Amino acid sequence: AEPAPTYRIGFSQCTMGDAWRQAMLAGMKKELSFYPEVSFRMKDAHDDSRLQRQQIREFLREKIDLLIVSANEAEPITPIVEEAFNRGIPVIILDRRTTSKLYTAYVGGNNLEVGQAAGNYVGSLLRGRGQVLEVLGAPGASPAVDRHQGFVQALAAYPGVQLAAQLHGDWKRPSVIQHLPALLRRHPEVDLIFAHNDRMALGAYQVCKQLGLDHRIRVIGVDGLSGPHGGIQFVEDGILSATLLYPPGGEEAIRVAMKILRKEAYAKENTLSTMVIDSTNVLTMKLQTEKLAGQQQDIQRQQQLLQQQRDTYASQQTVLYVLAAA
């Protein structure tokens, strides 16, 4: 028989409404398959900070052993996460931060660096001259704040490049489709759009195309997901000039969680690195991610086979017991 679960991990996820978060969860599940003693539960807050607070409170009532949280907005989620931490529950912040230092570990990209890398890339792509429009992520989410700050910092080294306009998005494409046309009409001089993720970048490209501006305005995004609707494919198709890789970190989060739960040594800050993906390296990136996906499928097949063998063995054991008792 299976041993009773020894650890309960609760994952408070700000939203599950996009492929990046689905890739995150897939990574978690893959890693969790190595730890059958863990019971894992996720609560999806659907982009709603109030709901997320409530769900974390539920997790505390359900007596979890460790909390993983991706905070929809930093401020409103901070008090309840601090409360969990102060009650002695280890807290892993995954991707979107709170405003507090009271957490056990962070896993995710460094968004200040993501913004800086974007700014440096833009500066050199425009050869030091041009007008830029920034499409930000949801206000109050830490990656939007940090990506913006890093972007502005890096652009300061290029006095000929101006941040001409800003659009406050919500990480989703429809908001960009809706509000960008009017903004572009007011700023016809824009040469490049930096969007805080690839979904909004795709929306920006579609607007430019509709206005007949797609050959003049270049678009850059963040995430660099693999797959047919991911940023890597958009770069290969010439829809985006570049994307900044921002790994979802699902596997890493579970690995760090297990170290904490097993009282092994762990790092407080687990920073996943970023890189520019553009036409010069996109094919290499694509080949590598496809190879990785293939290997992950192999691992999954092996695990299924192993499970089948365990099941067969267990049923044979039962037959033996029955025979011995007869």
What's the one-letter identity of residue 210? Answer: Q
21 binds ligand FRU (CB under 6 A): yes
Least CB distance from residue 322 to ligand FRU, whole Å? 52
Strands 242-245 and 276-278: antiparallel
Check: CB of residue 77 under 8 Å from CB of residue 54. Answer: no
Task: Choose the binding region for ligand FRU from 15-23, 86-94, 176-184, 317-325 (rule: CB under 6 A).
Answer: 15-23
Name the DSSP letter for residue 171. Answer: S
Long-range pairs for 21-24 at CB < 8 Å and ≥24 separation? Answer: 21/70, 21/248, 23/225, 23/248, 23/250, 24/94, 24/95, 24/248, 24/249, 24/250
Least CB distance from residue 137 to ligand FRU, whole Å? 6
106 binds ligand FRU (CB under 6 A): no
33 binds ligand FRU (CB under 6 A): no
18 vs 236 by CB, closer to ligand FRU: 18
One-letter-per-residue 3-state SS of 189-216: CCCEEEECCHHHHHHHHHHHHHCCCCCC
Rounded Cα–Cα distance for residues 27 and 251 (Å): 5
Provide the 3-class DSSP secondary structure of residue 163. Answer: strand
Site for ligand FRU in 130-169 (CB under 6 A): 137, 141, 143
Least CB distance from residue 143 to ligand FRU, whole Å? 4
Exactly one of 7, 8, 18, 46 binds ligand FRU (CB under 6 A); which one? 18
Spell 64-92 as b/e; 16+ CB within 10 A means b: bbbbbbbbbbbebbbebbbebbeeebbbb
Which of 271, 304, 168, 293 minimizes the C-alpha distance to 227? 293
Rounded Cα–Cα distance for residues 37 and 8 (Å): 9
Exactly one of 222, 239, 240, 257 binds ligand FRU (CB under 6 A); which one? 222
Site for ligand FRU in 68-97 (CB under 6 A): 95-96
Which of 95, 92, 42, 90 minimizes the C-alpha distance to 72? 95
Site for ligand FRU in 287-306 (CB under 6 A): none
52 binds ligand FRU (CB under 6 A): no
Binding string to ligand FRU for residues 166 to 195, with x set by CB under 6 A, is what?
-----x------------------------
Task: Choose the binding region for ligand FRU from 17-25, 54-62, 257-265, 318-326 (rule: CB under 6 A).
Answer: 17-25
197 binds ligand FRU (CB under 6 A): yes
What's the one-letter identity of residue 82? Answer: E
Least CB distance from residue 65 to ligand FRU, whole Å? 25
Task: Choose the binding region for ligand FRU from 16-24, 26-34, 183-191, 228-236 (rule: CB under 6 A).
Answer: 16-24
Nearest-CB residue to ligand FRU?
197
Provide the 3-class DSSP secondary structure of residue 68. Answer: strand
Which residues lie near ligand FRU (CB under 6 A)?
Answer: 15, 18, 20-21, 95-96, 137, 141, 143, 171, 197, 222-223, 246
